[in-house]
């Protein structure tokens, strides 16, 4: 019985997994220059792992993983992002305020989005 339950749970996790999409750092900067991502951002033009252009609709669950030039990573939620003086800030949580260390746009190597 336990093995069947484990199999069902494993299958459900595999089916509902999320895909990872890429976005150029300058594209993210342009989006944030327009204002708060919670207001007005209904679609994001991103690229999937095969290089195909995809239109992603951001939700409260859309996570952003930023890789800096020194290969360190920060993960935060898209709706918490903000830009001021070419510095990106945001939170690791949607519910609680767990701010990340601010990241200069010029230090960003790669931007990945996890979409569901």
- The model's pLDDT over 17-62, given as tens digits with 9 standing for 90+, comes to 568 999 999 999 999 998 888 777 889 999 998 999 999 999 889 9
Rounded distance, CA 111 to CA 41, Å? 17
Q: What is the pLDDT of residue 6?
A: 54
Total structural domains within the chain: 1
pTM, two decimals, is: 0.79
Range of the domain at 104: 18-115
Q: Is residue 1 part of a domain?
A: no
Q: What is the pLDDT of residue 97?
A: 87
Q: At residue 14, does pLDDT exceed 70?
A: no
Rounded distance, CA 82 to CA 114, Å? 18
Q: Is residue 101 part of a domain?
A: yes
Query: Once rounded to an integer, what is the mean pLDDT over residues 73-83?
Result: 93
Q: Is residue 42 part of a domain?
A: yes
Q: At residue 115, does pLDDT exceed 80?
A: no
Q: At residue 87, does pLDDT exceed 90?
A: yes
Rounded distance, CA 91 to CA 73, Å? 14
């Amino acid at each position: 019985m336990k093995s069947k339950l484990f199999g069902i749970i494993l299958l459900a996790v595999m089916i509902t997994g999320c895909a990872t999409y890429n976005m150029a750092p300058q594209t993210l900067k342009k989006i944030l220059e327009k204002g708060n991502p919670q207001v007005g951002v209904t679609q994001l033009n991103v690229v999937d792992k095969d290089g195909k252009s995809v239109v992603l609709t951001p939700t409260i669950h859309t996570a952003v993983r930023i890789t800096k030039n020194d290969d360190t990573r920060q993960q935060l939620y898209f709706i918490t992002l903000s830009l001021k003086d070419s510095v990106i800030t945001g939170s690791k949580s949607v519910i609680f305020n767990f701010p990340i260390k601010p990241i200069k746009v010029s230090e960003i190597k790669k931007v990945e989005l996890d979409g569901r």
